[in-house]
A and B are shown apart, each in its own frame.
Chain A
């Protein structure tokens, strides 16, 4: 998509991709929870070449006051790309694209965050893209949901996200930058893994009906794998052990 393909082969004759992955492989993912001291909850995520930092503040009093909702908490989501996150310097500040991503990501999270627990408050989520390599909205949402869990905010589920797309005529999982730029289609998807509900779904480029269904199922499977990694990261953060002596109970 995006532009015209200057003769880059995205698949070699063995069907391997430019970074050596198969069509249905995810890039390596690393998750860290509770990395920022001053935030109520935070997470750092590395997803292939993407590096994403998420911070959650709140629930806290609503600013500006007129936005307060007496029935539920107000959710705020800021997706922001650092100027140095892409090859050509990005002009700092929100633009058309990041405002859109912030909006759809907030809508996705509003489905799972139990905002009714905290009327007249606001929960702020900041996601900073430090390095971008395609699939940042998925990486951002995945990190944001870990940060929300770390902040102790009640949620119906975690959010896991993953993209699929089409490169050189084949449907593939988790596109990287070159594949996104010179491939034929990209389809980011976020789900609630417990129920299988789709929380975010977009598509760019052209797909036939069969390709569309294959891509959708591939992205769903990818998101489920991401969800397993999220669960493991959360479970491994705290180690329940006995300090020296006998057990004592709370």
Chain B
């Protein structure tokens, strides 16, 4: 059963060394640091209700090029930190030529404790529509092993790329994009509730 926790709320006894994000220890007790959801029967993990995207190595995100430098590009990744995409000096892969304003999917290659983020494997996204939702709701857009994403893609026929940083790129027929976007907004609004997959299914199939 899902429950809402607020900052400073006790979460039980501490019997683990590594604590998940948003949990802190004082004495031998654990407390929540976030306003979010917990499922006590599934262990101590807090799903925040809101919050900025914090880069994690390996995440695929959608970035917007801010500017070009001699060695690469500065990319906005919808996070407190900007990403640096450097052009490899020796590479057989074709590296795209980018301009400020271009939308790219990139992978977080590395990051350090002061917030320098390195990016890799850029792919430019052309045409389509870019929307932004709360980054904390992205796991719900994917669903269990991608089920929600498949549902939206299959029923609307829209191509989708979902970035962990809350940006979603949609490409397809204009009507289908509107429909997919409506479904995504619905998921974002109702992410804390149960039965979202069925509601989305009904919503998408009802409109056909």
* Interface positions of A (Cβ within 8 A of B): 40-41, 58-61, 70, 112, 114, 118-121, 149-158, 192-194, 231, 234-235, 238-250
Contact = CB atoms under 8 A, between A and B. Distances in A.
A68 B65 CA distance: 23
> Interface size bucket, B side?
35 or more
B31 interface: yes
B198 A246 contact: yes
- Chief secondary structure at chain A's binding surface: loop
A118 B53 CA distance: 11
Contacts of B50: 40-41, 150-152
Contacts of A121: 80-81, 115
Contact of B114 (A119, A156, A158, A193): A119
Contact of B7 (A156, A244, A247): A156
Interface stretch (B102-110, B170-178, B188-196): B188-196
A145 to B, nearest CB: 8
Given A151-B51, A157-B7, A244-B202, A118 B80 contact: yes
B182 interface: no
Nearest to A233: B6
Nearest to B82: A61
B197 interface: yes
A248 B115 contact: no
A244 to B, nearest CB: 6
B194 A152 contact: no
B118 to A, nearest CB: 15
